[in-house]
Amino acid sequence: MGTLKGVGRIYQQTYVDTYCKVAQCKLYTTKTPITAADLLNDRVLPFYEQHSLPVLRVLTDRGTEYCGNLEGMTISSIWP
């Protein structure tokens, strides 16, 4: 996304539900599978659980943060 003085490079993770017309985003200092999962776990899933709606599919832009290598990573570090 850009660079902030004193912080360095920043990245924006964005979630958009075109059917419900809901969008949320969060800024991060790294672009990794962990940050992608954080947005899902911190914002997206709680929103749908609050409204008793299931999440059936997630479509990504196939960015590198969604194509991480899971070797050496436990699933609990990505999905609580």
Neighbour tally for 37: CB within 10 Å? 19
Q: Where in the chain are the domains? A: 7-71
| Distance separating alpha carbons of residues 47 and 18, to the nearest angstrom | 15
pLDDT confidence of residue 75? 47
Radius of gyration for the chain, computed over Cα atoms and rounded to the nearest angstrom: 14
**What is the bridge-based pairing of β-strands 8-17 and 22-28?**
antiparallel
Q: Which residue has the higher pLDDT, 18 or 69?
A: 18
pLDDT in tens, 4-14: 888 889 888 88
Question: What CATH number does domain 7-71 carry, 3.30.160, 3.30.310, 2.40.128, 3.90.1690?
Answer: 3.30.160
pLDDT confidence of residue 49? 92
pLDDT in tens, 33-79: 888 888 888 888 999 999 998 888 887 776 666 665 555 555 454 45
| Distance separating alpha carbons of residues 37 and 39, to the nearest angstrom | 5
pLDDT confidence of residue 70? 53
